[in-house]
Amino acid sequence: MASNILKTGRRIIAVLTILMVTGLFLDFTGTWQNLFGWMAKIQFLPAVLSLNVLVIIGLVLLTVFFGRLYCSIICPLGIMQDGFAWFGRKARKNRYSYSAPKNLLRYVMLAIMVVALIAGISSMVAILAPYSAYGRIVSSLLQPFWIWGNNLLASWAEAHDSYAFYQVEYWSKGYGVLVVALSTLVILAILAWRNGRTYCNTICPVGTVLGFFSRFAIFRIVIDRSKCVDCKLCSRNCKSACIDIPNHRIDYSRCVSCFDCIGKCNKGALSYKYVGLKSDHGDEVKQPDMDGSRRQFITTGAVIGATAVMSAADKVVDGGLATIEDKKIPKRKTRIAPPGAVSLRNLHQHCTACQLCISACPNGVLRPMTDIENFMQPESSYERGYCRPECTRCSNVCPAGAIKPIDPAEKSAIQIGHAVWVRSNCIPVTDGVECGNCARHCPTGAITMVESESGLRIPAVNTEKCIGCGACENLCPARPLSAIYVEGHENHRFI
């Protein structure tokens, strides 16, 4: 009875967790993010990168008291793997077996993560971070269907004179992120379906760190040797492959406290209880040796294809008789980091490329970088929209401290870049007609129109007042390149 309560309770919490986290990446209204944005901030690696000491201490204490519950009820990637493993168990019962821990591989992967963090190799951090991997899967593979369903519902509602829903435009953030997300999903699905928690206990650096603390868990699953009949039923249902029945040992560094084994034991030999640092026999709990027999473990590397931004469908005006050429991205000397990032260096050091800020951006400004060094981290670009001064959505949802929380008043004073006028592209110069679109829409009044030699007015930029929001670049009618664009700043400053 107690085992069923433990297992059912864990599953309920896990389902609620994955629904809340998934909603963060699907929400385009900001409502869900306002309610459950804290779920992103209690993920282990983002908490470490943002130096959220209280969360880090809380997660460590949770592990020391109850074992690796984090991996079963908080980490969305772990919960997703449990889902695939569940389908695997439906296909073939009693499918697992004990495996000696791959400690060398585990600590090598952890060392790679630490070195990548210190050296600022953000692409490696992004690939290994479990929360970020799940975010990319949702935003790249599930979000398109979510938006399609919303738009279908909005069309139906409009046909019935209801405007409770509204159409939302979806645009692909790049082939590279899609390839990585799809590869990650396929690899994890196969591993979890066949072998359960293989990824968590061999590759995941967060699992390795928490596994160190879980060895000393005060509450844990123990084996009563007097009741155990060595049937191995628990071991054959352990997705962490951590129950060694011949030696009556449990590798607590790999046990994720899913409680499946307790429910399967029909002799009552397994129980979850308070034991401190002692086993239920009063002996010090022994850990499996590092040099045991090892199963062959094969991982498939994620294929990172060449990345490109998908072009939007051609738009038409004047009843479809005239086409508007798509804008091209200007060649910037410096990338544009979103307001709140403080600097490009801070963004690169803390961002795990989870794509939450990109999913949350309502104006299509943020998109993933395509270079290998900072692959999939966000940058601002203004082909689809501009960074509205009143919007602080990305800074509110970032869990890792890569984009720090700011309010609209602060944002209006942060200079992330400055506008640069390109005379050869400007319509008054090329076509000899008045324009002034950039000056009319500049929210800070940094652009004014001055008279040129030809008598037509051309824009003049006050770089001290410009905040780099991109309104001028986005709304400039010149094609394919805007006559005015934003050059990013390495370090942001207040004006």
Q: pLDDT digits over 252-302, tens only?
A: 999 999 998 998 888 889 999 998 755 443 344 444 443 443 333 333 233
Range among 173-182, 243-252, 285-294, 301-310 rated most confident: 243-252
pLDDT above 70 covers what percent of the chain? 89
Q: Which two tokens stand for residue 192?
A: 């979890």
pLDDT tier at 482, thresholds 50, 70, 90: very high
Instruction: Report pLDDT for 378.
Output: 95
What does the pLDDT read at residue 296?
34
pLDDT of residue 1: 60
C-beta separation of 476 from 442 below 8 A: no
CA 194/CA 217 separation, integer angstroms: 28
Neighbours of 141 (CB within 10 A): 14
CA angle 198, 200, 201 (to 5 degrees): 70
Q: Higher pLDDT residue, 3 or 275?
A: 275
Distance in angstroms (rounded) separating the CA atoms of residues 333 and 84: 45
For the entire predicted model, the pTM comes to 0.83
Collapsing DSSP states into helix, strand and coil, what is residue 331?
Answer: coil
| pLDDT category of residue 2 using cuts at 50, 70 and 90 | low
Tell me: pLDDT of 343 over 70. yes
d(CA 27, CA 33): 7
Across 94-124, b (16+ Cβ under 10 Å) vs e yields ebbebbbbbbebbeebbebbeebbeeebbbb
d(C-alpha 96, C-alpha 105), whole Å: 21
pLDDT above 90 for 133:
yes
Nearest CA to 82 out of 249, 237, 234, 226 is that of 237
Q: Give the count of beta carbons closer than 10 Å to the beta carbon of residue 395.
A: 21
On the question of pLDDT at 393 being above 90, the answer is yes
- Mean pLDDT throughout 399-406? 95
The predicted pLDDT at position 266 comes to 87
Determine the Cα–Cα distance for residues 46 and 402; give it in Å rounded to an integer. Answer: 9
Number of CB atoms found within 10 A of residue 308's CB: 11
In this structure, which amino acid lies at residue 278? K
Give the Å distances, CA to CA, from 340 to 203, 212, 226, 395: 32, 35, 60, 6
Question: Is 329 a residue whose pLDDT tops 60?
Answer: yes
Q: Is the pLDDT assigned to residue 309 strictly greater than 80?
A: no
- Dihedral of the CA atoms 232, 236, 238, 244 (nearest 10)? 40
pLDDT in tens, 78-97: 999 999 998 887 777 778 99
Q: Are 334 and 488 in contact (CB under 8 A)?
A: yes
Mean model confidence pLDDT for the chain: 87
232-241, 314-323, 468-477: the lowest-pLDDT one? 314-323
- What is the structure's pLDDT at 438? 95
Average pLDDT over residues 388-409: 94
Least confident window among 87-91, 418-422, 475-479: 87-91
Query: Which pLDDT does position 312 carry in this prediction?
Result: 31
Burial readout 408-446 (b: 16 or more C-beta within 10 A, e: otherwise) = eeebbebbbbbbbbeeebbbbbeeeeebbbbbeebebeb
Local confidence band at 44 (pLDDT 50, 70, 90 cut-offs): very high
Residue 55 predicted with pLDDT over 80: yes
pLDDT of residue 166: 87
In percent, the amount of the chain with pLDDT more than 90 equals 72
Asked whether the predicted pLDDT for residue 373 surpasses 90, the reply is no
Reduced to 3 states, what is the DSSP secondary structure of residue 417? strand
Is residue 201 predicted with pLDDT exceeding 60?
A: yes
